[in-house]
Amino acid sequence: MALPQIAIVGRPNVGKSSLFNRLVGRRVSIVDPTPGTTRDRVSQLVEILPPTDLPYDRAKDAAPKLAELVDTGGYGIYMAEGGRFDDAGEDLSKLTPHIEQQIKAGVASADLILFIIDAQSGVTGLDERIARLIREGGRSDKVMVVANKVDDDSWIAAAQDASRLGFGEPLMTSASSAFGKRVFLEAIYDRLPEWVEPVAKPEMKIAIVGRRNAGKSTLINALAGEPRVIVSEIAGTTRDSIDVRFELDGHAFTAIDTAGVRKRKSWADDIEYYSHQRAKEAITRADVCVLLLDAREEISQIEQRLALALMEQHKPTVIAVNKWDLVETQRKTSDYIDYLTEQFFALDFAPLVFLSASKGEGMTELVKVCSNLFKQANHRETTGRLNAVIRGVLAERGPSSKLGTMAKIFYVSQIRTAPPTIALVVNKPKLFEGQYERYLINQLREQLAFSEVPIKLIFSERKRMTYEELRSRKKAGVEQISDDDGPSLGD
């Protein structure tokens, strides 16, 4: 039995994405007045709380209900007036059947359909057309009409007009002001089926990033095993960052499809700016990132900057080469690997995976490599092992200043995971900056269980304790630490 689904449907600009974000509790779907902003099915797991005024005999057994909330594209109009062609001259009307298919798929699998209308503009001909399509599809019993933009009591009478659509009295709320939110949520709770099976929490979030038309959406569909997001030759089709849950070998994961990246000066509109921001947020919340390349294309500054951004955020990264089946007879694998190492010098430690998303080849290997990186990033090394490794590194090659000051490390410990973060108390932090820090990271990567993930080092200078600090330590029964230079790991 699948988790209950709530599908949000309606014509463009009635506030579907705003309502979706309100129910989720954060900005997930892009909200913009341009028709056709939402194209794919955007989904999130939500928890609907029981009503607060239930009788005692019901309240004691009432529990929150889990559901998958699905935002769909606005039905019927998919572009603004005069916006049929994008900045590259592509005809956006070609996306119409894909968008409608995503809407129909969302409605067909829903346990509850929230049919959204705009209370301030009233019921339109397009609203009536959507109502007719729902009835023809035999889904009338699953529908709740929601009159959105009821910002205060003055709009209640206008909202009542929605009852003529034939789905009963409309619920009234406002996604922007939260007017009527409590009654709205209670109605949803009453209509949702009970869910008693445990929902396996995704073990890992994988963000798929890359430039336009690298095959990110095709890869997401291959992982999901269904046409979960729109795949089109039109660049920039994906706008939202879309979380797609999938399972492999009994383990649950979340793959995040992101908008294709291109140079800022080429951005067409505000929607592309929001898409870019969503992609950045996806990288931040991901456990592992997949930098997807098109094997037919040369590496550009876009991919190189993405690689640097991933490195700066210390994100475990897999470099995945898509469409390799189209060029493997023309390119020697070893030469191409050397080429990638040269182009992505900041990620020269990142593993490589060759795949064909359109054929579904390489999916299992990709997920296994991601899982391995996840384990490396969450590994915690013992302080004793760290001390031993760093003692050996310093003995073999330690930094020193031009004046002959030798580097000393007084204390070292791993203070957090994901990314592995190692704190070092030293005599002169400046001695470790730049080239020696990179050398030390490479040595740690070779000798510890962090061979393919970024490592973060934090250097701080040992400070002499004040008289008050010494007294407080003595009162607490803590052994006094000598305040002289004392022995170090480098001695």
Question: What's the confidence (pLDDT) of residue 449?
Answer: 95
3-state class of 353 per DSSP?
A: strand
**Using one digit for the tens of pLDDT, what is the confidence trace for 108-166?**
888 999 999 999 999 998 888 888 888 888 888 999 999 999 999 999 999 999 999 99
What is the 8-class DSSP label of residue 336? H
Q: Are 290 and 209 in contact (CB under 8 A)?
A: yes
Q: Looking at residue 58, what is its pLDDT? A: 57
* Top mean-pLDDT range of 84-93, 138-147, 196-205: 138-147
What per-residue confidence (pLDDT) applies to 86?
A: 40
Confidence check: pLDDT of 36 > 50? no
Q: What amino acid occupies position 199? A: V
Distances (CA, A) of 333 to 35, 297, 340: 45, 15, 11
Sheet hosting strand 242-248, strand order edge to edge? 242-248, 251-257, 205-209, 288-294, 317-322, 352-354
Q: Is the pLDDT higher at 132 or at 338?
A: 338
293 SS3 class: strand
| 134-143, 383-392, 473-482, range with the lowest pLDDT | 473-482
Structure confidence at residue 45 (pLDDT): 80
**Which residue stretches of 51-124 are H helix?**
56-59, 96-108
Between 87 and 425, the more confident residue is 425
What is the pLDDT averaged over residues 375-389?
A: 95
For 316-339, letters b (16+ CB in 10 Å) and e give: bbbbbbbbbeeeeeeeeeeebeee
- What's the whole-number mean pLDDT along residues 282-298? 93
With 90 as the cut, is the pLDDT of residue 171 above it? yes
pLDDT bracket for residue 437 (50, 70, 90): very high
**CA 346 to CA 137: how far, in whole Å?**
53
Task: Determine how many CB atoms are found less than 10 A away from the CB of residue 384.
Answer: 8
- Strands 409-416, 352-354: pairing is unpaired
Per-residue confidence (pLDDT) for residue 337, from 0 to 100? 94
The mean of the pLDDT values for the chain is 80
Say what the pTM is: 0.71
Which pLDDT value is given to residue 176? 87
Least trusted range by pLDDT, from 330-334, 343-347, 394-398, 401-405: 401-405
- 173 within 8 A of 197, measured Cβ to Cβ: no
Q: What percent of the chain has pLDDT over 90?
A: 41
Question: What is the pLDDT, as a whole number, of residue 38?
Answer: 44
Q: Provide the pLDDT for residue 199.
A: 65
pLDDT for 272 = 56
pLDDT band of residue 338 (cuts 50, 70, 90) is very high
In whole angstroms, how far apart are CA 66 and each of 48, 189, 193? 6, 10, 9
Pick 194 or 122 by higher pLDDT. 122
% of the chain residues with pLDDT over 70: 74
pLDDT of residue 197 exceeding 50, the answer is yes
Amino acid at 154: S
Q: What local confidence, expressed as pLDDT, does residue 279 receive?
A: 76
Which of 52 and 92 is assigned the larger pLDDT?
Answer: 52
Residues with Cβ within 8 Å of residue 292, at least 6 apart in sequence: 208, 209, 210, 214, 215, 216, 219, 320, 322
Specify the higher pLDDT residue, 94 or 439.
Answer: 439
Predicted local confidence at residue 277, as pLDDT: 75
CA distance 113 to 106: 9
For residue 231, what are the CA distances in angstroms to 102, 221, 277, 312, 395? 11, 9, 21, 30, 55
pLDDT of 93 > 90? The answer is no
Pick the closest to residue 322 from 295, 340, 343, 297 (CA basis). 295
Compare 93 and 221 and report the one with higher pLDDT: 221
Average pLDDT over residues 279-306: 91
CA neighbours closer than 13 Å in the CB half-sphere of residue 99: 26
Residue 303: is its pLDDT beyond 50?
Answer: yes
What is the per-residue pLDDT for 483?
39
- Tell whether the model's pLDDT for residue 269 goes beyond 60: no
List of domains in the chain: 5-191 (3.40.50.300), 205-377 (3.40.50.300), 383-475 (3.30.300.20)
pLDDT for 62 beyond 80:
no
Residue 325 pLDDT class (50, 70, 90 cuts): very high
* Higher-pLDDT residue of 351, 88: 351
pLDDT-derived band of residue 57, with 50, 70 and 90 as boundaries?
low
